[in-house]
A and B are shown apart, each in its own frame.
Chain A
């Protein structure tokens, strides 16, 4: 991916900015230009979504795409955010055998990929099980 293409989306990648439709009050992520329910009556405004949710489903990647080969096996999941939208994300800081459907997760800032050893580094949100405190 070219640097400008990634850069255009850093606001959403770093902080989960989506959009909320003022008409039906539904949240969307990633941001979109029109609410599919309200169409012409859409009233979309930018909204920062909470980086917490739960695993809807997941899979274990053994044969990884370019740039992720060194991380296998790793967990990819569809996470439903507490404010509604679902997104595809890597689950980190979690053993493969500990992953489960319904597992609560929270966002964590991580390196997503990099363009070789001399190219730009892409950062963004991944998800992990909530840190146990005390």
Chain B
């Protein structure tokens, strides 16, 4: 049975903070940081936005594009490392808000930056086995970096939602391949507000090892080579890692350009790879083939081969695009940023 994407939707909050604004507070060299991370600014959620509101808005767009009855959605999975509740699934709020409830299975996923693509794989399995007609997979985050930490320049907010089904596909997912190991490159302990990471250890043994081996595994499994793809999207914790990974794997600058959003919105964690794919789908033509490889610290990678169908041209156009959300922005200073991201203690 063919399995793929019936519709997708995105959401990026409108607040932005520039690298210069953060660097000025912590004595960082803004130009050096921008050059090193290849990030200019990041998107941050407002006081009344969180992973649930991002997931709902993105999913409503995905539903509008797919044009399906939400009651036909049999599974809702939300991948995030910033679920509003430690215990009470974001997927329950989402299920009610899009009226997929009550007859559905649902759960929240957490796998650092790749929980959303893990949700896509689960939905592929449930749809492919005939257990459900449609599944909804969301990757959304309002990521936090500790004040003064390098992560503060990139940890961003945003998300994307994908409706997975087997009919009326805008894109077919032909294959997926995953690699997972126990790698302590980045973590957040229970009850701790900010994550910690292994600095340079997040590179070779973590990001590159998993992204490269999952992508190579997918290419081998599908008998495809980088030249067979029109686009490639890699997880983008900064601008440097995906560019280096692409180069090492034999993908060109032209193939990855369209799906690289980190420079303008930061690393949206579980949303990052899925927003990159959405940016490509906003533009791709029928027949285009897309390689997608997500990465989540801890660590693991999910790689996909996706081919766009003729249906995309008729279903696209009515819902807001990634660029629509990137364009609408309001810059804030560091003081407003710490208030919006609740980095200061306010008496209640």
Contacts and interface: CB of A to CB of B under 8 A. Distances in A.
B320 A109 contact: no
A133 interface: yes
Interface stretch (B42-50, B151-159, B232-240, B272-280): B42-50
Interface in B295-348: 320-321, 324-325, 327-328, 339, 346, 348
Given A109-B53, A132-B328, A92 B48 contact: yes
Interface residues of B, number: 26
7 smallest CB-CB distances across A and B, nearest first, come from A109-B56, A110-B48, A111-B48, A14-B97, A109-B53, A133-B324, A110-B53
Contacts of B52: 111, 121, 123
A112 B324 contact: no
A24 to B, nearest CB: 27
A70 B49 contact: no
B92 to A, nearest CB: 11
Given A110-B53, A111-B50, A131-B328, 11 more contacts: A14-B96, A15-B99, A71-B48, A108-B57, A109-B60, A109-B97, A110-B49, A111-B52, A116-B348, A126-B48, A131-B324
Contacts of B48: 71, 92, 110-112, 126
Interface of B: 14, 46-50, 52-53, 56-57, 60, 84-85, 93, 96-97, 99, 320-321, 324-325, 327-328, 339, 346, 348
A134 B56 CA distance: 23
B327 to A, nearest CB: 8
A10 interface: yes
A123 B49 contact: no
Interface residues of A, number: 22
Contacts of B56: 109, 123
Contacts of A71: 47-48
A117 interface: yes
Contact of A121 (B47, B84, B324): B84
Nearest to B54: A109
Nearest to A134: B324
A83 interface: no
Nearest to A132: B328
Contact of B47 (A14, A70, A93, A131): A70
A92 B57 CA distance: 14
Interface in A22-59: none
Nearest to A108: B57
Contacts of B93: 123
A134 B50 CA distance: 26
Contacts of B99: 15
